[in-house]
């Protein structure tokens, strides 16, 4: 009679020594192929007495499935290992770099827009290439004003230029909207300047409101509330009388920086009656307030940045801080 236990014992010893897929295949052939040990055992059945045949057959099957199971499990283990160590070229490429984020200027613009949206202001976008009419003439800017010169402004031809201020949007909007009007509009403006506090392209946000009985108190209130919201702390600001041809009276607003120095952040005033008349709005019935804010200016104050050019030289270490 065959010693089944011995076969299993031997098989277990052999399987323990296996180190790779190739050896598994060899073991498989040794036990389970046509010429393998199990086949040889089944061939012995015919020599066995009839009443022992079923018992013998059952035992062979038990051994057979024991071996098949063990070999299959081991195979699975090794194919998993192999998968781990090899590169699957059919897989989609991995992204090794971080996703981009919004530029700090865009973030600040969104923050400001959110404040004004809550006050009921409509957000409107203009165009970078502007007609001389909207950028200068309609804003009451004198024909010989220095800002019109080629030294200060990027002219495209004698009628078109890269806008120097977002105030041009006041007149554009008055073409389409009638009072009461509450609008903010932000975007790029262009001037021939380049140093620590100026770049040829920078950003402004223009805010204007036209309604009945709008006065300087309304203007002051909006600016104070906005500064409180934006800087999240109490700031000292001052309104200094200034001259802008499209507002009367006009002011520049200065903010006190940490180093006790004053820095201008915006120009503002009550909309000049001439601008209203040009847009067929009766200045006796309606009045308006307006201001234009330098986005880079307030960003630089908030985050203590000393050179505006840092915002534009694509240094990822710098930009990642926002």
- Is 296 a binding residue for ligand DAH by CB under 6 A? The answer is no
Select from 135, 153, 167, 287 the one that contacts ligand DAH (CB under 6 A): 167
Give the helix, strand, coil percentages of the chain, each rounded to 5: 45, 20, 35
Residue 90 CB neighbour total at 10 angstroms: 5
Residue number, 275 or 311, with CB nearest to ligand DAH: 275
Residue number, 27 or 252, with CB nearest to ligand DAH: 252
Q: Please count the residues of this chain forming the interface with ligand DAH, following the rule CB under 6 A.
A: 12
CB of 269 vs ligand DAH, minimal distance in Å: 4
CB of 114 vs ligand DAH, minimal distance in Å: 20
CB of 178 vs ligand DAH, minimal distance in Å: 19
Give CA–CA dist 97/258, Å, rounded: 37
CB of 203 vs ligand DAH, minimal distance in Å: 11
Residue number, 268 or 276, with CB nearest to ligand DAH: 268
- The tokens describing 171, both together, are 């007149």
Instruction: Find the part of the chain contacting ligand DAH (CB under 6 A) among 85-93, 151-159, 228-236, 287-295.
Output: 287-295
CA distances from 201 to 18, 55, 156, 192 (A): 71, 94, 15, 8
The pattern of x and - marking residues 246 through 285 that bind ligand DAH according to CB under 6 A reads -x--x----------------xxx----------------
Quick one: DSSP state of residue 195? B
- The tokens describing 22, both together, are 């190739």
- Is 56 a binding residue for ligand DAH by CB under 6 A? The answer is no
| 38 conformational bin, left if phi > 0, alpha if psi -120 to 50, beta if neither | alpha
- Is 290 a binding residue for ligand DAH by CB under 6 A? The answer is yes
CB of 247 vs ligand DAH, minimal distance in Å: 4
Quick one: DSSP state of residue 281? -
Sign of CA dihedral 117, 121, 127, 128: negative
- Is 108 a binding residue for ligand DAH by CB under 6 A? The answer is no
- Binders of ligand DAH among 207-226, rule CB under 6 A? none
For residue 77, cis peptide bond before it (omega within 30 degrees of 0): no
- Is 186 a binding residue for ligand DAH by CB under 6 A? The answer is no
| 304 conformational bin, left if phi > 0, alpha if psi -120 to 50, beta if neither | left
Strand 262-271 relative to strand 287-294, pairing:
antiparallel
> Contact positions toward ligand DAH, by CB under 6 A?
165, 167, 206, 244, 247, 250, 267-269, 290-292
């Amino acid at each position: 009679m065959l010693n089944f236990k011995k076969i299993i014992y031997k098989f277990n010893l052999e399987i323990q020594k296996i180190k790779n897929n190739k050896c598994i295949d060899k073991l498989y052939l040794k036990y389970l192929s046509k010429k393998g040990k199990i086949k040889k055992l089944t061939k012995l059945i015919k020599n066995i007495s009839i009443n022992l045949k079923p018992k013998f057959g059952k035992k062979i099957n038990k051994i057979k499935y024991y071996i098949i199971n063990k070999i299959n499990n081991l195979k699975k283990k090794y194919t998993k290992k192999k998968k781990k160590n090899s590169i699957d070229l059919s897989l989609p490429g991995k992204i090794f770099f971080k996703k981009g984020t919004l530029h700090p200027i865009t973030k600040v613009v969104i923050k400001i827009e959110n404040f004004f949206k809550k006050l009921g202001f409509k957000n409107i976008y203009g165009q970078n290439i502007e007609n001389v009419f909207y950028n200068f003439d309609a804003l009451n800017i004198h024909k010989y004003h220095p800002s019109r010169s080629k030294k200060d402004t990027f002219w495209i031809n004698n009628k078109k230029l890269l806008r120097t201020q977002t105030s041009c949007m006041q007149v554009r909007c008055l073409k389409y909207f009638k009072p009461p009007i509450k609008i903010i509009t932000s975007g790029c403006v262009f001037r021939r300047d380049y140093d620590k506090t100026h770049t040829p392209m920078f950003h402004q946000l223009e805010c204007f409101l036209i309604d009945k009985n709008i006065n300087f108190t309304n203007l002051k209130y909006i600016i104070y509330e906005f500064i409180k919201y934006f800087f999240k702390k109490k700031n000292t600001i001052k309104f200094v009388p200034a001259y802008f041809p499209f507002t009367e009276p006009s002011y520049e607003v200065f903010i006190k920086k940490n180093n006790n120095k004053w820095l201008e952040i915006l120009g503002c005033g009550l909309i000049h009656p001439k601008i209203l008349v040009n847009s067929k709005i009766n200045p006796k019935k309606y009045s308006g307030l307006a201001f234009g804010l330098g986005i880079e200016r307030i960003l630089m104050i908030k985050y203590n940045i000393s050179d505006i050019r840092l915002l534009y030289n694509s240094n990822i270490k710098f930009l990642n801080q926002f």
